[in-house]
Amino acid sequence: MRIDGKVVVITGASEGIGAACAAEFARSGARLSLTARSEEGLKRAAGSTGLVTAGDLTSEETRRLVVERTLDRFGAIDILINNAGVGFYLPSWSAPMEQARGLMELNFFALLGMTQLVVPHMRARGQGMIVNVSSIGGKMTLPWLTIYSASKYAVGSLTEGLRMELRRDNVKTMLVCPGYVKTGFQQHVTAGQAPESLVRSRRMAITAAECALAIRRGVERDARTIVTPKSGWILVALARLFPALMEARMAAMNETA
């Protein structure tokens, strides 16, 4: 898909991958509609021309407002980047149900809600792309982020199902599975802390800008799935070919938490 002139809605756009996507797509000529809780962060990411809608994306009212304001301003939505998400470092067997539900509300149901609002518009126009930001944890379960991984597996399945459902309407979907990205994710988790071995490995993480570049290039070539960095595909392949070995390795990393 050619990005120049396209209208791009990005959730979770006040910092991290979302803000980096805003900068990357703006450089390619996109018109931006950004949403997140932080209005100040959104204004920094949007520049002088982007549309900003601050609010809680788990609220249906906020989601409707984002879509309505975007259509009022630009008259179209060409690309939806569902990026907003949160995690926590708690064992699944002891995580408070309220926190587990809150995680699923943002990571999955808010994403589904935005998709349901935008897809009818895209179908009517016979074009569009839904970009869902998942995680390497949506391809292989990370035991220090088990419930987060479950939410991202759900995002992956939804993205693949949407691709088949919308094929005849020329509305495409792309799944994005970042590995370790230098963002504030660990600082924003709602509880717990990462294993020390994981913290050390993040020194080799990619930047949010590198992740955004991979997303932009994926959109341009109508990619189905992006794993970034590409070396993440090796981990995914090993997890599928040698599941017992990889589970033992991941469990050992988790024991350092």
pLDDT tens-digit profile of 231-250? 899 999 999 999 999 999 98
Q: Residues 10-38: what's their mean pLDDT? A: 97
Computed over every residue of the chain, the mean pLDDT equals: 92
| E strand or H helix at 51 | strand 51-54
Residue 17 lies in a domain: yes
Residue 230 lies in a domain: yes
Phi, psi of 249 (to 5 degrees): -65, -45
| Nearest CA among 207, 88, 84, 182 for reference residue 142 | 88
Phi, psi of 191 (to 5 degrees): -170, 155
User: Among 131-145, 179-193, 205-219, which stretch is predicted with the lowest mean pLDDT?
Assistant: 179-193
Q: Residues 39-51: what's their mean pLDDT? A: 95
| Nearest CA among 92, 221, 82 for reference residue 145 | 92
pLDDT at 90: 92
Q: Which amino acid is at 47?
A: G
Residue 41 lies in a domain: yes
DSSP state of 59: S
pLDDT digits (tens, 9 = 90+) for 68-95: 999 999 999 999 999 999 999 899 999 9
Confirm if 45 and 22 have CB atoms less than 8 A apart: yes
CATH number at residue 162: 3.40.50.720
| Nearest CA among 197, 164, 168, 202 for reference residue 183 | 202
Secondary structure (3-state) at 35: strand
pLDDT band of 193, cuts 50, 70, 90: low
Instruction: Say whether the peptide bond before residue 120 is cis (omega within 30 degrees of 0).
Output: no
Secondary structure (3-state) at 221: coil
Domains contained in the chain, number:
1
Whether 148 is catalytic: yes
Residue 2 lies in a domain: no
d(C-alpha 198, C-alpha 201), whole Å: 5
Sign of CA dihedral 106, 109, 111, 116: negative
Does the pLDDT at position 138 exceed 90? yes
pTM of this prediction? 0.92
pLDDT at 188: 58
Query: 135-156 burial string, b = 16+ CB within 10 Å, else e?
Result: bbbbbbbbbbbbbbbbbbbbbb
Q: Residues 180-202: what's their mean pLDDT? A: 63
Higher pLDDT, 107 or 203: 107
Contacts of 120 (CB under 8 A, 6+ apart): none
Q: Residues 153-161: what's their mean pLDDT? A: 98
Q: Residues 29-56: what's their mean pLDDT? A: 96
Phi, psi of 9 (to 5 degrees): -100, 130
Q: Which strand ranges, in their side-by-side order, compose the sheet holding 225-228?
A: 51-54, 31-36, 7-11, 79-82, 128-133, 171-178, 225-228
Q: Residues 174-181: what's their mean pLDDT? A: 93
pLDDT band of 203, cuts 50, 70, 90: low
- What's the domain range around 249? 7-254
SS3 content of the chain, % helix, strand, coil (to 5): 55, 15, 30
pLDDT at 49: 92
Quick count: other Cβ atoms within 10 Å of Cβ 243?
11
Residue 91 lies in a domain: yes
pLDDT at 234: 92
